């Protein structure tokens, strides 16, 4: 049986764990056989079935193929991963998943552009003691956001990335180089525009945090303002418009997309281990 308590029962994460076990048992597979088929560790798969761990997207895709469930597990996983985030951020992510246009200013490399290795370094750097399992949970949840970029019709994304984010490497030169390569590759996507805000742009109203602006298919817009330890979802049209104007001013100060791509590519070359 899947272990649960009264708070877990009925949650998307609990439903996913139960369904994983039900599907495996209904198919007549042992954990050892399943592990051999999809090439994931038996203990890891067991922990998914007990709800102890949250998987990464490729695991759910592999299990959907194995069980012939037509994307059901991926959809359940999309709901379950929301459990890893705080309430306000969870609401933002629900809106993000429905947005057709996303604009962001970031003073650090945003999760949508992070490699797994870079995300693990960042999430391991928190001052509060955190277990290896918790780190892996957070990494899976963060990388899960990138699923929206892999859709058949992904949203159009514009990222204004502060130069400081590209000038603060992690200690491992390979991890840092690979991260810069990821950003450079993303800049070539037809659905993504990346601009670098250079130091020469000077001070501005969004320093020290990040801003997301989301537009839905019906034209509705929301803003999400995030600091180091807090986040605020803004839905009042006048406030959203005010942040949009702040964003537009930064876009005017940023390097053009082509100049930004050249800037990032130069950093890629300079960072080769």
To 5 degrees, how large is the angle CA 135–CA 155–CA 67? 60
Give residue 114's pLDDT: 96
Please name each of the domains of the chain with its CATH number. Answer: 12-82 (1.10.260.40), 87-270 (3.30.870)
**Between 93 and 64, the higher pLDDT residue:** 64
Res. 83 pLDDT band, cuts 50 70 90:
low
pLDDT on residue 137: 81
Higher pLDDT pick, 271 / 52? 271
Question: pLDDT tens digit string along 255-265?
Answer: 999 999 999 99
196 contacts 140 by C-beta, under 8 angstroms: no
Task: Check whether 35 has a pLDDT greater than 80.
Answer: yes
DSSP characters for 170-239?
A: -S-HHHHHHHHHHHHHHTTSTTEEEEEE-GGG---TTTTSEEEEEE-TTS-EEEEEE-SS-EEEE--HHH
Answer with the residue of higher pLDDT: 197 or 142. 197
Tens-digit pLDDT profile for residues 93-127: 788 888 999 999 999 999 999 999 999 999 988 76
pLDDT at 6: 41
Q: Quick one: what percent of the chain has pLDDT higher than 90?
A: 56
Tokens of 50: 């007990």
Check residue 186 and give its pLDDT.
Answer: 95
Mean pLDDT, the chain, integer: 88
Give pTM, 2 decimals. Answer: 0.72
């Amino acid at each position: 049986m899947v272990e649960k308590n009264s708070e877990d029962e009925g949650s998307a994460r609990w439903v996913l764990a139960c369904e994983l076990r039900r599907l495996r048992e209904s198919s007549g597979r042992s954990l050892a056989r399943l592990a051999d088929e999809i090439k994931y560790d038996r203990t890891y798969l067991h922990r998914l079935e007990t709800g102890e761990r949250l998987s990464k997207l490729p695991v759910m895709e592999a299990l959907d193929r194995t069980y012939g469930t037509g994307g059901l597990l991926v959809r359940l996983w999309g709901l379950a991963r929301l459990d890893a985030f705080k309430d306000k951020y969870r609401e933002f992510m629900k809106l993000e998943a429905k947005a057709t246009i996303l604009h962001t200013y970031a003073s650090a490399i945003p999760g949508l552009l992070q490699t797994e290795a870079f995300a693990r370094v960042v999430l391991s750097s928190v001052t509060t003691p955190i277990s290896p399992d918790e780190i892996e949970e957070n990494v899976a949840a963060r990388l899960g956001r990138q699923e929206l970029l892999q859709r058949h019709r992904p949203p159009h994304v514009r990222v204004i990335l502060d130069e400081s984010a590209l000038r603060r490497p992690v200690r491992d030169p390979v991890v840092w180089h690979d991260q810069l390569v990821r950003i450079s590759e993303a800049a070539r996507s037809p659905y993504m525009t990346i601009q670098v805000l250079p130091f020469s742009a000077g001070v501005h109203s969004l320093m020290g945090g990040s801003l997301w602006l989301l537009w839905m298919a019906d034209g509705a817009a929301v803003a999400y303002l995030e600091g180091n330890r807090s986040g605020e979802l803004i839905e009042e049209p006048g406030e959203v418009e005010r942040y949009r104007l702040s964003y537009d001013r930064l876009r005017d100060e940023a390097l053009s997309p082509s100049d930004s791509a050249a800037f990032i590519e130069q950093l890629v070359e300079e960072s080769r281990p």
